[in-house]
Amino acid sequence: MSRPYSVDHSVFVRDLWPGGIGKLQGNTEHDHLAPLWTTITPSFDALCTFITVDPLEVPYSDPARRHVVRYQPELEAPTETFSIKVQGFLKDFHMDPLGNWGGKENTAFKATRSIVLDSGGCDGPFNMQKDVLNMIKEVIVHSLDHAVLDVPVDSRPGIHLRSNVFTQIRSNSPVVSSSIHARDDPRGFAAKIARRWAVTSTIKMRAPATTGARLLPATRVQFRSGDFVEVKVVPDIVTTFQNRHLRVDVRFIPISITRLCTAAEAKARANITLASHLLPQSSSPIQPSTSQSVTATTTATPQEWQQMIRDSYFPPVPPPSAVDRAENGLI
């Protein structure tokens, strides 16, 4: 799992959110000691040396999905498959194991689980993440289609994450096992079509314990619009041929989601004024504090934004001691 750096490569993007909401309270991680494979430099050239697009070695149940994104071997990542974490405020979501499926077999092919993240007005760090996702898409498309000139940028507001609920079982499909339990399918609709359509993955959910930075398994009912979350995603590559020309489509699949703080906690920690469509119905509009802090209405360039945030919330981090450097193999 990797995290994007800021545009000046000085801190992770998660450290640019006001009030420190990009980290769990009590988190004592030292970003300057992060292994190389966990840090994504936001540039096309850097990404070309960071990830590789490889063909799948084993048959896949979907003939249009034949490629996977992996870390470059030189990074010595503990896992081959590339993933990235992005953060934002929950705007819309269908995270249940069966997503938006209505229970009819003829709609199983288009049933999806989805998460839409919003900036909450904090455009600086949010747009940095969107830029990185667009660059990852660009690297993937150019790796597979050498004739393409321009890769369309996702210009939709927000970050849109989506995955298919079902995998079609074909005559030549590898053996698949279901990832859902009876409680996820109370009417038994998915069980009735299990020989033709299988649920092979779900979104893992976590939320912080009452005290401390420890995370516990969570359920969908613990998430609300306006919550500030972190989502682990992987690229999903679909290749098809249209009029004998290769077409490469890339989207990002949510693998897991962690609630870092609720809308009310974001108000208390960061004085963020959320739009009404991001607030739970039981919540009242968040009013800005009179204290001097960076609010969501700040208009600045990404560089100015991160400098203001850093000056307001993040004192200089002392360099690691000789003991720390030795323990982490730096000397």
Q: 215 has which bridge partners? A: 208
Name the more confident of 276 and 152: 152
pLDDT at 187: 93
- To the question of pTM greater than 0.85 for the whole model, the response is no
Name the more confident of 91 and 304: 91
Name the more confident of 276 and 80: 80
Position 71, amino acid = Y
Give the pLDDT band of residue 118 (cuts 50, 70, 90).
very high
With residue 248 as reference, give the H or E element that holds it.
Answer: strand 245-261
pLDDT higher than 80, residue 153: yes
pLDDT higher than 70, residue 307: no
The encoded tokens of residue 311 equal 């000056």
Segment 157-185 shows an average pLDDT of 86
| DSSP secondary structure string for all residues of 27-71 | ----GGG--GGGEE-SSHHHHHTTEEEEE-SS--SSTT--EEEEE
pLDDT higher than 80, residue 10: no
Give the pLDDT band of residue 283 (cuts 50, 70, 90).
very low
Residue % of the chain over a pLDDT of 70:
75
Q: Is 162 helix (H, G, I), strand (E, B) or coil?
A: strand
pLDDT at 324: 42
Segment 197-212 shows an average pLDDT of 88
Segment 126-147 shows an average pLDDT of 92
CA distance 204 to 155: 28
Contact assessment for residue 225 and residue 90, using Cβ atoms and an 8 Å cutoff: yes
| DSSP secondary structure string for all residues of 174-231 | PP------GGG-TT-HHHHTTTTEE-----EEEEE-SSSS-EEE--GGG--TT-EEEE
Q: Is 306 helix (H, G, I), strand (E, B) or coil?
A: helix
What is the pLDDT of the chain when averaged over all its residues?
81
Give the pLDDT band of residue 216 (cuts 50, 70, 90).
very high
pLDDT at 145: 87
CA distance 159 to 93: 12
pLDDT at 62: 72
pLDDT at 301: 54
CA distance 124 to 120: 11
pLDDT at 273: 67
Give the pLDDT band of residue 150 (cuts 50, 70, 90).
confident
Residue % of the chain over a pLDDT of 90:
50
pLDDT at 9: 62
Name the more confident of 328 and 10: 10
Segment 137-166 shows an average pLDDT of 90
CA atoms within 13 A of residue 217's CA, in its CB half-sphere: 2
Angle in degrees, CA 135, 140, 143, rounded to 5: 120
pLDDT higher than 60, residue 300: no
pLDDT higher than 50, residue 321: no
pLDDT higher than 90, residue 47: yes
